[in-house]
Structure 1
Amino acid sequence: MLIGPSSNNTYDQDMGMKEMRSKIIYSTAVLLAMIMGLGSRVFGKHLPPFAASHLGDVLWACMIYFACRVLLTRQPLSQSLLLSLCFCFGIEFSQLYQGEWINGLRATRVGGLILGKGFLWIDLLRYTVGIVFSYALDRFCRPKKSS
């Protein structure tokens, strides 16, 4: 019987530390996207018109992708790509429903930021751009596996 940490236990600890580091990095990306997205809404009049029109939704989608990565750190990046696209598209298509109860939620600041107000086809393109950009950035910044 071995006394002390086994090599498998050390491997588990290393994986736990890597996962925790990844969660911290992705959480920071969520926070950064959130701050930049809210900033694009608050300071939109100081941005070029094209950026003021599109940047907030692109950054919202970036935030959703990185939030998926926080939750799915051990899963492939492609799973977060798909899940975040489905989530964003689902939120957008939910705006076709205009029930009194959900419009009451949408009338609040937080509800409006999360659920949006009305369906726009262009938002689907904005979300796709934000998620694909985040996915590409994630792939580019990942440490290369050594063989």
Structure 2
Amino acid sequence: MRRSRFLYFMLITATIITGLLSRHFKSIPLFVGDILWALMVYFIARFLFINKPIKFVVVASLLFCFAIEFSQLYKAPWINNLRHTLFGRLVLGEGFLWSDLLCYVVGVGIGCIIDFYILKKGPK
């Protein structure tokens, strides 16, 4: 399959829909949403940096995810107010959890697996 921005846009859209739906079913553990969030970040990075090596996309995705998670330790009133909005909750999260870092690694790893095996691009 050819690497294209349209394909990654479709993967981003599908991941967002799946992530939002996962919050509506109590039987789905909350950490699944964190994994899907990181997967979405990976696909967005791949969309933006389509010609960069996969290692670059992995590092960029994990740096972004980890930066967002560690930003949750910052508790200024203005950012806390932003975190109490739907957008802020979805993008910035609400509270720091070490376990979220593992979820981000898993989500980005799933993105790599999709790149390697389903899209059959091979390593770059």
Output the TM-score relative to the length of structure 2. 0.92
Q: Structure 1: which 5+ residue stretches go unaligned?
A: 1-17
Residue in structure 2 matching 1:116, options 93, 107, 114: 93
Runs of 4+ in structure 1 displaced over 4 angstroms? none
Query: By how many angstroms is 1:53 displaced?
Result: 2.6
Compared with structure 1, are the counterparts of its residues 75 and 118 closer, same or farther at alpha carbon in structure 2 (3 Å cutoff)? Answer: same
Please state whether the residue corresponding to 1:75 is helix, strand or coil. coil
Q: Aligned partners of 2:57 and 2:9: how far apart in 1? A: 14
Structure with greater Cα Rg: 1
Q: Aligned partners of 1:86 and 1:103: how far apart in 2? A: 22
Query: By how many angstroms is 1:141 displaced?
Result: 2.5
1:83 and 2:60 equivalent?
yes
Compared with structure 1, are the counterparts of its residues 128 and 144 closer, same or farther at alpha carbon in structure 2 (3 Å cutoff)? Answer: closer
Report the residue type matching 2:69 in the other structure.
E
1:69-116 per-residue CA deviation (whole Å, 9 max, x = no partner) reads 100011111111110000000000000001000001101001111000
Q: Percent identity?
A: 45
Q: Aligned partners of 2:53 and 2:30: how far apart in 1? A: 32
1:64 and 2:64 equivalent?
no
1:17-53 per-residue CA deviation (whole Å, 9 max, x = no partner) reads x6xx61000111111110001111122x1x2xxx423
CA contact (8 A) 2:23 2:30 kept: no
Coordinate RMSD, CA, aligned: 1.5
Q: Tell me: higher relative CO, structure 1 or 2? Use CA pairs within 8 A at least 6 residues apart.
A: 2
Identify the residue that residue 15 of structure 2 maps to in structure 1.
33
Identify the residue that residue 95 of structure 1 maps to in structure 2.
72
Report the residue type matching 2:12 in the other structure.
V
Q: Structure 2: which 5+ residue stretches go unaligned?
A: none
Identify the residue that residue 110 of structure 2 maps to in structure 1.
133
